[in-house]
Amino acid sequence: MRIAAGRSRMALDRSAPAVVATEYGPGSGRWCIGRAYRAGQLVCGCVHVAISLDERLGLTERERRLVRVRFHEPVDDDLRIDLAELAGRRGLASDRVAERVDPIEVVIDDPRGGQERMIGGLRPPQRRHGPLRDLMFGLRELT
């Protein structure tokens, strides 16, 4: 059913500024900057983290949270090898590589003084070509 534009009962004030949502609801996302650790050692000093929520029905709260990470220089040599292998494989081969990669811990610094820690396994990127700093790897959070 279509609603005609001329029949809308909503008052329209074209001079008023648009309303901006300040909370993170489904579909909205936020970018954070953090650090990545493996076995207690720093493996990347600058990690861009994108956190968003999946809007699909039937998912638990933990399953709704989508985390993607992008690594910037300098990156530890062992991590660089794992990332190159993840980006170079496709299909089931990339899933098998992702299972073999050691989990990482991402620490996000909150500007208000707190920290958020996420431990998870890396997932293959959607786009597989280009410089390392442009590839967004998924992070499947572990319990």
| 6-17 per-position pLDDT tens digit | 444 444 444 544
Q: 87, 125 in Cβ contact below 8 A? A: yes
In this model, does residue 36 exceed pLDDT 60?
A: yes
Q: How confident is the model at residue 62 (pLDDT cuts 50, 70, 90)?
A: low
Structural domain boundaries, residue 41 = 33-141
In a domain, 11, yes or no: no
**Burial status of residue 121 (CB atoms within 10 A of its CB: 0-12, 13-18, 19 or more):** middle
In a domain, 71, yes or no: yes
In a domain, 18, yes or no: no
Query: pLDDT: is 89 or 3 the higher one?
Result: 89
pTM passes above 0.85: no
Other Cβ atoms within 10 Å of 27 Cβ, number: 9
Other Cβ atoms within 10 Å of 60 Cβ, number: 7
**Helix (H) or strand (E) run with residue 75 in it:** strand 65-75
| 3-class SS of residue 92 | helix
Number of domains in the chain: 1
> What does the pLDDT look like over 37-55, one tens digit per residue?
999 999 999 999 988 877 7
In a domain, 1, yes or no: no
> Taking the CA of residue 35 as centre, how many other CA atoms within 13 Å lie in the half-sphere pointing to its CB?
9
Q: How confident is the model at residue 90 (pLDDT cuts 50, 70, 90)?
A: confident
